[in-house]
Amino acid sequence: MAVAEPAANAHFLLIAFSFAALTYAFVTSDFSLKLVVLNSHSAKPMIYKISGVWGNHEGSMLLWVLILALFGATAAWFGNNLPPTLKARVLGVQGSISVAFLAFILFTSNPFLRLAVPPFDGQDLNPLLQDPGLAFHPPFLYLGYVGLSMAFSFAVAALIEGRVDAAWARWVRPWTLAAWVFLTIGIALGSWWAYYELGWGGFWFWDPVENASFMPWLLAAALLHSAIVVEKREALKSWTILLAIMAFGFSLIGTFIVRSGVITSVHAFANDPERGVFILMILAVFMGGALTLYAARVQAMEAKGVFSMVSRESGLVMNNILLAVSAFVVFIGTIWPLVAEMLWDRKLSVGEPFFNAAFTPFFVILGAILPLGAMLPWKRATLGRAARPLWAAFALSLSLAALAFAVQTGRGALGPVGLFLGAWLISGAAVDLFNRTGRGSFGSRLARMKRLPGADWGKAIAHSGLGVTMIGIAGLMAWHAEDIRVVQVKGSYDIAGYTLTLDKVERVQGPNYISTMGHVTVTKDGAQVAVLTPEKRVYPVAGMPTTEAAIDYGFLRDVYVVIGDPQDNGGWAMRTYYKPLANWIWAGSILMALGGMFSLFDRRYRVAAGARRRAPAAGVPAE
Amino acid sequence: MKRVLLVLMLLGAPGAPLWAVQPDEILADPGLEERARGLSKGLRCLVCRNENIDDSNAELARDLRLLVRERLVAGDSDQQVIDYVVARYGEYVLLAPPKTGINWLLWWAGPLMLLGGGVIGFSYLRRRQAAPEGAGAAALNPEEAARLRDIMEK
């Protein structure tokens, strides 16, 4: 068993070497490699030469395995306080996942295939992918996806050992937290990219590939919360193990969806059945194996904690039900076209209108009960007493929503409801944090707030981040304005109180593209707000046009301008959007990730560092 | 049929110098235009991957947008327009699948599962409430319990 550690290290170093070799080939534009020819070009900026390494199927799978090995190695480096048998088993499970995916790369997607006659230059990377936002989207997403493999490995190792206890939950939580933080950043980057790059300001499309990353995110969020119950109260053990298995299972399903192209979507670059079947086999072996083990061992996991119907525990159970159900809704909506066609020969589509209608209610309920659930004490609580400090927050949120409803005149309930939920979550988190400081004068409690543990801050920040995102989504969807028209050069038009003037349109030569660039001056009440330069680019090597929207970012609104085709009468087609609260969507995501990081760096996870003893209220239940 | 599809695919290729709703498509009557935009968001661009015709750049999406507007100008209700488009292109064109036949399961899957989860969760909580304090504590022998306490308290 002692061999596990050096093996994990060697494994990581060797894969890192092979990844470095591929990166070197891309950086030096080595066109004797087929992959480099297909996805790179000598004139491409350096950052996109590097991001081209994972902007394709083979390279991205190598990155996948690299990150898998990295997580295994971190368990070897930082897992000093793990019992040696558990640690060896975790590394063993992690290694076996790695073997399966290395076989997948070797047999179906070798990135190092050579060409006998190297061409003079490459065919360039898809221009949509030549973007800073998207360059870093896949690595973050993979860090999240693959990070969940650690939760899986810990779950399987615990099943093999036959026991799950509070200590186990404490060990598994940092890795799940890290994975969830990366996944949050990755999803937010992808959504932000779609917002500014695809040219109509959509931020989420319920595309199968997006759903593939969203399902593990939801389940990982559920796992984070249920692991708290295992850690503090020794309950929900078997459910937590199941969640850990399923969260990684959905990562594998996501990899399958993206890499097989079985459910064709905007992102599916790969369309090779051989690859799909291989991943499906990996999925069947690991999920089948883990679930069989689970079925065999689940009886051994007895719950210890006793708690009443109204308690923090039951609040977290509700959180888990809602998160799991919403993940399930996304899952069934994603695979339904496939199922309907195979079983009932019905060809149909499941898109945005379905998900908006079927998914949203669960998050509305979640947002509505979250602040109250977060305030409930462990074991036994009374609703009235827990709710008392929240009344002010509730009244504030309700009046904000009522104000918005009165001002917006004649629009639906979406905006006010989103505003209420967001304000309720943010103010509820603030009240919760303040409440943790105990008794005393206002000033001394404020001072004590700084010394609250990282986990408390993390919880408050992440929950208010969810609120900020909800406000952003609801505000953007409810209150946006749009204008489509033909604009003559020097002509101007109005949208949502702003006046836009098209000053000129010129041709600009970029490093590997040619651009048609408009110059638009934005003014409000006669004062200049911004000069925007929307572009239409043509990448000659890839033969593809892209639109580059110009956005004036603001705290409360974005002004978003897109230039289209020249018209017969000399004007240009222009599309302009007024997008209220758009930035809040990603600001909220960043807050959620930040909250996760605060929690991650809570001192009680650095058990080996000799951190000081924590207050008994949050400690282990009496034994 | 295959060839038709191929031609459609080529028309829908991203190289086509077109883009979502064009200024010349917009109806003079803002009320009708708003209804047209609303309907377009629920109709799938047949040659695209998971895009509605309102956002799509494809030629075929433009044709469909024009068709929707034509029907609205002719005085159709929203439902009549949808029926008309579905009659021509099949239910594949609807981004929200109709709640008919087996699709019932799709639409009710979430609420049903919430109900199931609620029942299981409730009975679990009931059991936890009734369980005697400290049940299952025997799973740890004293030595293990000491080690656990040691780890947790550091």
Give contacts of B121 with chain A, Cβ < 8 Å.
314, 317-318, 321
Mean pLDDT (whole number) for A390-414: 84
Does residue B17 lie within any of the structural domains? Answer: yes
Give contacts of A307 with chain B, Cβ < 8 Å.
125, 128-129
Structure tokens at A493: 């038009």
Q: Please judge whether A354 and B19 are an interchain contact, meaning their C-beta atoms are less than 8 angstroms apart.
A: no
Mean pLDDT (whole number) for A81-104: 87
Does residue A371 lie within any of the structural domains? Answer: no
Q: Please judge whether A350 and B106 are an interchain contact, meaning their C-beta atoms are less than 8 angstroms apart.
A: yes
Give contacts of A361 with chain B, Cβ < 8 Å.
110
> How far is residue A453's CA from residue A28's CA, in Å, rounded to a whole number?
48
Shared-domain flag, residues B24 and B88: yes
Contacts of residue A585, Cβ cutoff 8 Å, sequence gap at least 6: A188, A191, A203, A469, A472, A473, A476
Q: Please judge whether A336 and B97 are an interchain contact, meaning their C-beta atoms are less than 8 angstroms apart.
A: yes
For residue A612, pLDDT over 70 is answered with: no
Of the partner residues B109, B133, B145, the one whose CB lies closest to the CB of residue A332? B109
State the pLDDT at residue B11. 37
Does residue B82 lie within any of the structural domains? Answer: yes
Q: Show which of B93, B119, B139 is a domain's final residue.
A: B93
Q: What are phi and psi of A544, to 5 degrees?
A: -130, 135
For residue A224, pLDDT over 60 is answered with: yes
State the pLDDT at residue A1. 66
pLDDT in tens, A527-553: 888 899 999 888 877 777 788 888 898
In B15-131, DSSP assigns E strands to none
Shared-domain flag, residues B8 and B83: yes
Q: How confident is residue A119, by pLDDT bands cut at 50, 70 and 90?
A: confident
Shared-domain flag, residues B122 and B84: no
Nearest in space to A293 (alpha carbons), one of A192, A158, A395: A158
CB of A57 closer than 8 Å to CB of A109: yes
Mean pLDDT (whole number) for A432-454: 80
Mean pLDDT (whole number) for A28-45: 82
Shared-domain flag, residues B63 and B35: yes
> How far is residue A603's CA from residue A170's CA, in Å, rounded to a whole number?
12
Q: Please judge whether B148 and A167 are an interchain contact, meaning their C-beta atoms are less than 8 angstroms apart.
A: yes
Question: Scanning the structure block, which residue is given the tokens 């973050």?
Answer: A140
Does residue B73 lie within any of the structural domains? Answer: yes
Q: Please judge whether B136 and A163 are an interchain contact, meaning their C-beta atoms are less than 8 angstroms apart.
A: no
> Which domain CATH number covers B18?
1.10.8.640
Contacts of residue B49, Cβ cutoff 8 Å, sequence gap at least 6: A207, A264, A265, A266, A268
State the pLDDT at residue B133. 52
Does residue B36 lie within any of the structural domains? Answer: yes
Does residue B8 lie within any of the structural domains? Answer: yes
Does residue A199 lie within any of the structural domains? Answer: no
Shared-domain flag, residues B34 and B69: yes
Mean pLDDT (whole number) for B1-23: 46
Q: Please judge whether A358 and B110 are an interchain contact, meaning their C-beta atoms are less than 8 angstroms apart.
A: yes
Mean pLDDT (whole number) for A498-515: 88
Our count of domains for chain A comes to 2
Shared-domain flag, residues B74 and B113: no
Does residue A27 lie within any of the structural domains? Answer: yes
Does residue A241 lie within any of the structural domains? Answer: yes
Does residue B32 lie within any of the structural domains? Answer: yes
CB of A299 closer than 8 Å to CB of A310: no
Q: B133 at the A interface (CB within 8 A)?
A: yes
Does residue B98 lie within any of the structural domains? Answer: no
> How far is residue A126's CA from residue A56's CA, in Å, rounded to a whole number?
10
**Collapsing DSSP states into helix, strand and coil, what is residue B102?**
coil
Mean pLDDT (whole number) for A395-421: 84
Shared-domain flag, residues B75 and B112: no
Of the partner residues A351, A613, A619, the one whose CB lies closest to the CB of residue B52? A351
> How far is residue A329's CA from residue A396's CA, in Å, rounded to a whole number?
32
Nearest in space to B144 (alpha carbons), one of A619, A233, A302, A168: A168
Contacts of residue A162, Cβ cutoff 8 Å, sequence gap at least 6: A297, A300
For residue A147, pLDDT over 60 is answered with: yes
What is the distance in angstroms between the Cα of A381 and the nearest Cα belonging to chain B? Answer: 12
State the pLDDT at residue B3. 40
Structure tokens at A34: 């087929």
Mean pLDDT (whole number) for A367-376: 86
Mean pLDDT (whole number) for A219-246: 88
Residue type, A199: G
pLDDT in tens, A375-392: 887 877 777 787 888 888
Give contacts of A305 with chain B, Cβ < 8 Å.
128
Task: Please state which of the ranges A29-38, A282-291, A560-569, B128-137 shows the lowest mean pLDDT.
Answer: B128-137
Does residue A203 lie within any of the structural domains? Answer: no
Give contacts of A313 with chain B, Cβ < 8 Å.
125, 128
For A359, the closest chain B residue by CA position comes to: B110
Mean pLDDT (whole number) for B45-56: 80
pLDDT in tens, A233-284: 878 888 888 999 999 999 888 888 877 766 654 444 445 567 778 888 888 8
Our count of domains for chain B comes to 2
Shared-domain flag, residues B63 and B109: no
Q: How confident is residue A445, by pLDDT bands cut at 50, 70 and 90?
A: confident
For residue A594, pLDDT over 60 is answered with: yes
Q: Show which of B72, B93, B114 is a domain's final residue.
A: B93
> How far is residue A492's CA from residue A272's CA, in Å, rounded to a whole number?
50
Q: Please judge whether A349 and B22 are an interchain contact, meaning their C-beta atoms are less than 8 angstroms apart.
A: no
Query: Residue B135 is part of which domain span?
Result: 103-153
Of the partner residues A329, A348, A623, the one whose CB lies closest to the CB of residue B109? A329
Give contacts of B62 with chain A, Cβ < 8 Å.
none
Mean pLDDT (whole number) for B32-42: 84
For residue A616, pLDDT over 50 is answered with: no
CB of A140 closer than 8 Å to CB of A182: yes
User: Which residue has better confidence, A157 or A125?
Assistant: A157
Helix ranges, A345-491 (H): 352-375, 383-387, 391-408, 414-435, 442-449, 454-479
Q: Please judge whether A328 and B113 are an interchain contact, meaning their C-beta atoms are less than 8 angstroms apart.
A: yes
Task: Please state which of the ranges A266-280, A294-308, A454-468, B73-87 shows the lowest mean pLDDT.
Answer: A266-280
Mean pLDDT (whole number) for A149-176: 86
Residues of chain A with pLDDT > 90, as a percent, come to 17
Query: Residue A508 is part of which domain span?
Result: 481-583
Does residue A119 lie within any of the structural domains? Answer: yes
Q: Which residues pair with A514 in a beta bridge?
A: A509, A538
Mean pLDDT over the full length of chain A: 83
State the pLDDT at residue A160. 87
Question: Scanning the structure block, which residue is given the tokens 């079983």?
Answer: A343
For residue B2, pLDDT over 70 is answered with: no
Shared-domain flag, residues B6 and B81: yes
Q: What is the pTM of this model?
A: 0.86
Shared-domain flag, residues B9 and B72: yes
Mean pLDDT (whole number) for A186-196: 88
For residue B18, pLDDT over 50 is answered with: no
Q: Please judge whether A322 and B19 are an interchain contact, meaning their C-beta atoms are less than 8 angstroms apart.
A: no
Mean pLDDT over the full length of chain B: 75
Nearest in space to A513 (alpha carbons), one of A535, A546, A549, A540: A540
Question: Scanning the structure block, which residue is given the tokens 């749009």?
Answer: A482
What is the distance in angstroms between the Cα of A322 and the nearest Cα belonging to chain B? Answer: 7
State the pLDDT at residue B115. 92
Nearest in space to A336 (alpha carbons), one of B52, B102, B144, B127: B102
Q: Please judge whether A349 and B21 are an interchain contact, meaning their C-beta atoms are less than 8 angstroms apart.
A: no
Does residue A410 lie within any of the structural domains? Answer: no
Shared-domain flag, residues B115 and B43: no
CB of A358 closer than 8 Å to CB of A329: yes
Q: What are phi and psi of A514, to 5 degrees?
A: -115, 135
* Helices and strands: H and E segment counts in chain A: 19, 10
Shared-domain flag, residues B123 and B83: no
For A352, the closest chain B residue by CA position comes to: B95
**3 state SS for B110-151:** HHHHHHHHHHHHHHHHHHHHHCCCCCCHHHCCHHHHHHHHHH
For A564, the closest chain B residue by CA position comes to: B19
Is the reported ipTM for this assembly greater than 0.85?
Answer: no
Q: Please judge whether B23 and A333 are an interchain contact, meaning their C-beta atoms are less than 8 angstroms apart.
A: no
State the pLDDT at residue A463. 92
CB of A101 closer than 8 Å to CB of A282: yes
Does residue A528 lie within any of the structural domains? Answer: yes
Task: Please state which of the ranges A43-47, A71-75, A461-465, B68-72 shows the lowest mean pLDDT.
Answer: A43-47
What is the distance in angstroms between the Cα of B1 and the nearest Cα belonging to chain A? Answer: 16
